[in-house]
Amino acid sequence: MTALETTTARRTSLRDYYQSFMSRRASLIPAFAAIAILLLLFIGAEILLRGDFIAPRNISALLLDNAYLLVLAVGMTFVMVTAGIDLSVGSVMAFTGIWLAKLLAAGMSPVIAIPLILMGAALIGLLMGVLVQYFDVQPFIATLAGLFLARGLAFVVSLSSIKVEDSAVLWLQSTRFRLGSWYITPTGILALLVVIVGAFVMQFTRFGRTTYAIGGNEQSALMGLKVARTTVAVYVISGVCAGLAGLVLTAYSGAGYPRNGVGTELDTIAAVVIGGTLLTGGRGYVLGSMVGVFVYGTIKTIISFMGAEQSWMQIIIGALLLVFIVIQRAIVARSDRRS
Amino acid sequence: MRRIVKSRLFWPVAALILLILINTIARPQFVRITFQDGRLYGALIDILRNSAPLMLVSLGMTIVIATRGIDLSVGAVMAVSGAVALTIIDGSADPNSLGTVIVALVAAILVSLVLGMWNGLLVAVLGIQPIIATLVLMLAGRGVALLITGGFITTVNSSPFEFIASGYTLLLPFAFFISIAAIAAVGLAERRTALGVLTEAVGINPEASRLAGVRSRSIIWTAYAASGVLSGIAGVIYASNIRAADANAAGQFIELYAILAVVLGGTSLMGGKFSVAGTVVGVFIIQTLNSTILFLGVPSAQSPVFFAVVVVIVVVIQSPHLHRLTRSLIRSIRTNQTPEANGTTTNGESAGEESTSDVEVTV
Amino acid sequence: MPAETTVPPIVEMRSITISFPGVLALDNVDFLLHPGEVHSLMGENGAGKSTLIKALTGVYAIDRGSIRVAGRRNQFHSTADAQAAGISTVYQEINLCTNLSVGENVMLGHEPRRGVLIDWRAAHRQAAEHLEGLGLSIDTRSMLSSHSIAIQQLVAISRAMVLDAKVLILDEPTSSLDREEVEQLFRVVRGLRDNGVAILFVSHFLDQVYEISDRITVLRNGRLVGSYLVDDLPREELVTKMIGRELDDLAAISSTAAREIDRTGRPILKAVDVGKRGFLEPADVDVFEGEVVGIAGLLGSGRTELVRLLYGADRADSGNIEVGGEPAKMTSPRHAIDHHIAFSSENRRAEGIVSDLTIAENIVLGLQARQGFRKIKRAEQESVVSQYIEALGVRPADPTMIAGNLSGGNQQRVLLARWLATAPELLILDEPTRGIDVGAKADIQRKVAELSENGLSVIFISSELEEVLRLAQRVVVMRDRKHIGELESHTVSLDGLIDFIANEGKGSAA
């Protein structure tokens, strides 16, 4: 059937509406699934904990505790949409965190220290991006090298944790802006800002749309797009986000710790995948990743409220990731067969 | 055939010898071996013993990579294996009995086999990308290990168990003999049976292999199962060494070192031809490098920086892009070409393969 | 209306010569393209069509000759250069992003912006306008993947117009389209032509070429055969020019075509109604013991598709297969191998030779795969390998040489060795003589004749119709993914066969 005329306006029946929706927004379905899961979790928690869960202080804490992961997830979304992966984010986060702590302890003003660590993170991202784009290195090897590098550098900076005394940085975490029982910290605001900027860039800039093109079409260079520039840039962005996450985490815990973030990249990938981003690239939303982070955070909260062991956290996240991947694979296989 | 082996092993072996030489010059006691109470001691002996877990994991990783795959779960499997073994020993009536230890070992290895087959199922049957398929176990595995140990770091006092990592047989550390056995087993399985060639065929050209009737699914499954078993044994050695099951520390980052060892040994990450001997040399290079770094007084936590540099160098050298660049550079230096002819040479290089298949196949 | 030659050409390619290691892909070819015409480039495999197009679109650099676009001399180094000069290509595999919307695909990289941010409303409006300009009314916000290939193709053409293309190259655009969709495409193409766009149309569907083109250029073996107005070139002449008559130094091979075949018993293989949607129309084939069945047709006629279904390399949607009279399941190569069927793919590099393995390992692969994990004893291996290297004349005769380094002809010999070593009852050869030197061609044909005389059944595909007529007792004729007829080869001449193919079975041979 040739669809030469597919009318845009007349949605006379519900069926038309459904069809139009499916043809336009089918890629949003995974993100909707994530929201559905989040709602289910909230409801389930509410029941399990006998009405103690959905309270302003818990939801506010959700953002507070997972702000660092939110920032990481934004950067990871950019990379994964281009069909890449960044295994270094946990280590870069630890590196920038401890480096910041050391610089502050040495008396440097945060106004200089913070941009400095962000530049360091950006440099590591640049290195990985160059390896991927110009040396044909597979992303996971290139970012694995980044992981090694950042982790080692973290310990070079300091072998043990360093407390942060700087008031400006601590302010980021300790201040609460209250609205009734709800509250938000500057770190929370920062995280949300990163999400908003990230979402805007992906949706409304040519750069953002190019990332989707790269993920959706291996030959996108033939479309005349600036593939090289964009590919390197997403790794730099991921690096900077990891740097910001280091700032947030250091403020949160009041100290830099070189052992931070071991395995965090996996949690980030899990959150982003749960939020609807395809591992194979080409599809994903920053807002979806945000939902994914909240799913992660909620599960963690439920587990700790229930007094269960932390090890369950890893198992559940692993299982969830698996389920999502298998579903993604089935959906992709079906749409491949159709086209 | 001998020519190929020689040229592929040449660089890794040369690198290893160079490393040993540098070490020897810097600290002559590096090559000193002392004999005491029927045992040999020395830095070299330490390398032989300490390399065992990495050796086993790397052997498994070699086979998996040969099928164009990767196994990121090896560290997690080590953790689970250690947890299983120690929980059994800890919960038994007599931790010191050889029987108990054997039961524990068998259980641990069986569990690891199942985990490996799980990976194989995801990759070979469900067709999931190897990175992601093994990522799942990498995430969940440590959680499972923690559950088994009840969240604690279980410790035991069991001399048969301790013997695995610290014991000696025939002058040399027992762990070293485990390495030898594994190398022999993998080497024989791959080369004495058709497994090696078929694995290479699947890795080099999956479609041609399929059309030729090769059972790709079984081969891929076997590769991951083997990786699982080897990681399980490695996990037992590690646990024996620290006399505990530490679900978080066991095999931490070992997947990265294993991949590095495989790559250093000359096996390509793109799959296909692999070299067990190359991986063995690669493992020794890493252990010696580690030893060197420690000797230089660098805290072991900082050693990843060196390895990052090594990874980058190796990967850049292997990069086809670099080959193309150097080749056209050499050519332009040698013949002083005009821009037009340069176009030809780049055609000849990069388009050469495509073009002949163009002529054969496309419109 | 074909453009008259008074209008200067928009693309002028003169004396184009391109060579690759061992192959002269284009030899002094001239090619002119005028605005406001639909120009078809015709030729069989290896003729040089894709090389010529890649030279025009900046993928290959030329060794000699010149390219002028709109009067200006050009040396393209990349597709971006070519696009900037107004040359756009719509490839067979749609080069768009199926994960994005229609409108986005049309405007990708050129979205209207307010400052730095994309103005989506304006983008979709402009996309809709461009699509309307081609006579299409599509929901620009719908995902590209929700539309048929036909529509996706039109979107790709639309995108080319956004980039202000003066030359539009359509590479096999109709391979996946049905009749209605082809008409729709042609309507769009004619509209563009009437607006002065020069259209380079590459297709092997003869009917369509005649329906849409104003001019036809024929290439053969890297050389220009000629450029003709479509009205001046009847079909038979075109096919003859494409296929040509080569010096028949292969006449020395005794013709097996006349051999008597006993068709009274059960056929070795019998396929009834075997087909696959979008791939091959249901077809019947049978092969008897010692018989060579040739499959003839132009490129894209469905020959390979048919044999792949017979071998289980692809899964059929319909029909059934019997081997030796017994119904057989044929959904994977392993099933075929168990039934003693062997298949040598036309794409020997991608689907045949395992390039990093040695000659010996390649030859033994079929046997080894069948045997499983138990290794074939070294002595046996060496004997099989040396036997076949000698029998088929593989050069260099070194079993330890890496197969990827062999010439095309020797690779084909190695593949043949692999399959013969498994002692099949039916051997399917898809284009075994393509792209190899004349000596090797003769050798392989001799071998096939010999084997069939000794009882091996063969299905033989070749674009070189003389080969097919020489070796096969029966010829199955395919066209446009359909089985259109079957001929006893000793009853038909080469001309008759060409005629049959060109006129869909209505020619003098029927």
Q: Which residue of B has its CA nearest to A127?
A: B312
| pLDDT at position A9 | 46
- What's the one-letter identity of residue B295? F
For chain B, how many structural domains are there in total?
2
The answer on B256 and B169 residing in a single domain is: yes
Residues 6+ apart with CB under 8 A from C399: C358, C359, C360, C363, C382, C385, C386, C389
The answer on C74 and C121 residing in a single domain is: yes
The answer on C277 and C237 residing in a single domain is: no
For chain C, how many structural domains are there in total?
2
Question: Which residue is it, tokens 């040089």?
Answer: C48
For the CA atoms of B108, B112, B114, B116, the dihedral, rounded to the nearest 10 degrees, stands at -170
The continuous run of DSSP H or E covering A239 comes out as: helix A227-253
The shortest C-alpha distance from A313 to chain B (Å) reads 7
Q: Which residue from C286, C355, C350 is spatially nearest to C313, judged by alpha carbons? A: C350
The answer on B299 and B209 residing in a single domain is: yes
The shortest C-alpha distance from B142 to chain C (Å) reads 34
**Residue B58 contacts residue B279 (beta carbons within 8 Å):** yes
The answer on B239 and B94 residing in a single domain is: yes
The answer on C41 and C90 residing in a single domain is: yes
**Residue C294 contacts residue C471 (beta carbons within 8 Å):** yes
| Cis amide leading into C396 (omega within 30) | yes
- Flag whether B1 is in a domain: no
Distance CA C145, CA C275 (A): 26
Q: Which residue of C has its CA nearest to A226?
A: C109
The answer on C239 and C273 residing in a single domain is: no
Q: Which residue from C19, C48, C437 is spatially nearest to B352, judged by alpha carbons? A: C19
| pLDDT surpasses 90 at C350 | no
- Flag whether B16 is in a domain: yes
- Flag whether C361 is in a domain: no
Distance CA A44, CA A306 (A): 12
pLDDT in tens, chain B (363 residues): 455 545 677 778 888 888 888 888 888 888 888 888 888 888 888 889 899 999 999 999 999 999 999 999 999 999 999 999 998 888 888 888 888 889 999 999 999 999 999 999 999 988 888 988 898 898 888 888 888 888 777 788 888 888 888 888 888 888 899 999 999 999 999 888 889 999 999 999 988 999 999 988 899 999 999 999 999 999 999 998 888 888 877 888 898 899 989 988 888 888 889 999 999 999 999 999 888 888 888 888 888 898 888 888 877 877 767 766 777 677 667 655 444 333 333 333 333 323 332 222 222
The answer on C101 and C189 residing in a single domain is: yes
| Cβ neighbours, 10 Å, residue A249 | 27
- What are the mean pLDDT values of chain A's consecutive 10-residue runs (339 residues total)? 42 69 71 82 80 79 93 97 94 96 92 95 96 88 91 93 86 82 88 96 94 87 82 97 95 91 89 88 92 91 78 81 79 58
The answer on B283 and B137 residing in a single domain is: yes
Q: Is the ipTM, as predicted for this complex, more than 0.90?
A: no
Question: Which residue is it, tokens 């008409």?
Answer: C183
The answer on B204 and B71 residing in a single domain is: yes
Among the partner residues A85, A144, A312, nearest to B143 by beta-carbon distance: A312
**Residue B141 contacts residue B80 (beta carbons within 8 Å):** yes
Please report, in angstroms and rounded to a whole number, the separation of the first and last CA atoms in chain C.
36
- What's the one-letter identity of residue B91? G
Among the partner residues B198, B204, B361, nearest to C356 by beta-carbon distance: B204
Distance CA A251, CA B101 (A): 48
Phi, psi of C120 (to 5 degrees): -65, -35
Chain C residues near residue B328 by CB distance under 8 angstroms: none
Q: What is the set of domains in chain A, with CATH numbers?
A: 29-338 (1.10.3470)
The answer on C229 and C305 residing in a single domain is: no
**Residue C123 contacts residue C103 (beta carbons within 8 Å):** yes
Among the partner residues B137, B303, B322, nearest to A152 by beta-carbon distance: B303
Least confident of B87-91, C44-48, C172-176: C44-48
Average pLDDT of span C179-202: 90
Quote the Cα angle for A104-A110-A112, to 5°.
105
Give the range of the structural domain holding residue B345, as residue numbers without chain letter: 321-351
**Residue A1 contacts residue C177 (beta carbons within 8 Å):** no
pLDDT tens digits for range B323-337: 667 776 776 676 554
The answer on B272 and B331 residing in a single domain is: no
The radius of gyration computed from the CA coordinates of chain C, to the nearest angstrom, equals 25
| pLDDT at position A23 | 67
The answer on B132 and B35 residing in a single domain is: yes
The answer on B327 and B272 residing in a single domain is: no
Q: Which residue from C34, C175, C153 is spatially nearest to C90, judged by alpha carbons? A: C153
For the CA atoms of C345, C346, C351, C353, the dihedral, rounded to the nearest 10 degrees, stands at 90
For chain C, say whether A323 makes contact (Cβ under 8 Å). no
- Flag whether C260 is in a domain: no
Contact between chains at A314 and B140 (C-beta distance less than 8 A): yes
What is chain C's percent helix, strand, coil content, to nearest 5? 35, 25, 40
- What's the one-letter identity of residue C349? R
Q: Where are the alpha helices (DSSP H) in B51-205?
A: 52-66, 74-91, 98-120, 130-148, 159-166, 174-192, 195-204
Distance CA C460, CA C430 (A): 6
For chain B, say whether C212 makes contact (Cβ under 8 Å). no
pTM: 0.81
The shortest C-alpha distance from C342 to chain A (Å) reads 28
- Flag whether B363 is in a domain: no
The answer on C228 and C297 residing in a single domain is: no
**Residue C269 contacts residue C286 (beta carbons within 8 Å):** yes
Residues 6+ apart with CB under 8 A from B10: none
The answer on B302 and B224 residing in a single domain is: yes
Tokens for C414, please give them. Answer: 């190695």
- Side-chain half-sphere CA neighbours of B243 within 13 A: 12
Tokens for C491, please give them. Answer: 């009853």
pLDDT tens digits for range C490-500: 788 888 888 88
B-facing residues of A in 53-82 (CB < 8 A) are none
**What CATH number is attached to the domain comprising C323?**
3.40.50.300
pLDDT tens digits for range C323-343: 988 898 888 899 999 999 999
For chain A, say whether C187 makes contact (Cβ under 8 Å). no
**Residue C240 contacts residue C466 (beta carbons within 8 Å):** no
**What CATH number is attached to the domain comprising B153?**
1.10.3470
The answer on C239 and C95 residing in a single domain is: yes
Chain C residues near residue A202 by CB distance under 8 angstroms: none
- What's the one-letter identity of residue A147? L
- In A253-334 the beta strands, taken as DSSP E runs, fall at 255-256
Chain C: touching chains (3 or more CB pairs < 8 Å): A, B
The answer on C285 and C181 residing in a single domain is: no
The answer on B260 and B182 residing in a single domain is: yes
Q: Which residue of C has its CA nearest to B189?
A: C373
Among the partner residues A23, A222, A339, nearest to C98 by beta-carbon distance: A339
| pLDDT surpasses 80 at C45 | no
β-partners of residue C485 are C477
pLDDT tens digits for range C237-263: 887 777 665 444 445 455 667 777 888
- Flag whether C1 is in a domain: no
Chain A: touching chains (3 or more CB pairs < 8 Å): B, C
The answer on B52 and B116 residing in a single domain is: yes
More confident residue, A211 or C504: A211
Classify strands C426-430 and C457-461 as parallel, antiparallel or unpaired.
Answer: parallel
The answer on C229 and C281 residing in a single domain is: no
- Flag whether C116 is in a domain: yes
Classify strands C457-461 and C292-296 as parallel, antiparallel or unpaired.
Answer: parallel
Which residue of A7, A18, A23 to mutate against C (max C Cβ within 10 Å)? A23
Q: Which residue of C has its CA nearest to B362?
A: C45
The answer on B61 and B47 residing in a single domain is: yes
Q: How many Cβ contacts (< 8 angstroms) between chains A and C?
A: 102
The answer on C89 and C172 residing in a single domain is: yes
Q: Which residues of A38-54 are buried (b: 16+ CB within 10 A; e: fewer)?
A: beebbeebeeeeeeebe
- Flag whether C227 is in a domain: yes
- Flag whether C5 is in a domain: no
| pLDDT at position A288 | 93
- Flag whether B111 is in a domain: yes
The answer on C186 and C91 residing in a single domain is: yes
Mean per-residue pLDDT of chain A? 86
Give the range of the structural domain holding residue C326, as residue numbers without chain letter: 269-352+425-502
- Flag whether B346 is in a domain: yes
Chain A residues near residue B308 by CB distance under 8 angstroms: 145-146, 148-149, 152
Classify strands C167-171 and C87-90 as parallel, antiparallel or unpaired.
Answer: parallel
The continuous run of DSSP H or E covering A157 comes out as: helix A139-157
Contact between chains at B315 and A145 (C-beta distance less than 8 A): yes
Which of C243, C261, C288 terminates a domain? The answer is C243
Q: Which residue of C has its CA nearest to A201?
A: C117
| pLDDT at position A198 | 97
Q: Which residue from A97, A63, A88 is spatially nearest to A247, judged by alpha carbons? A: A97
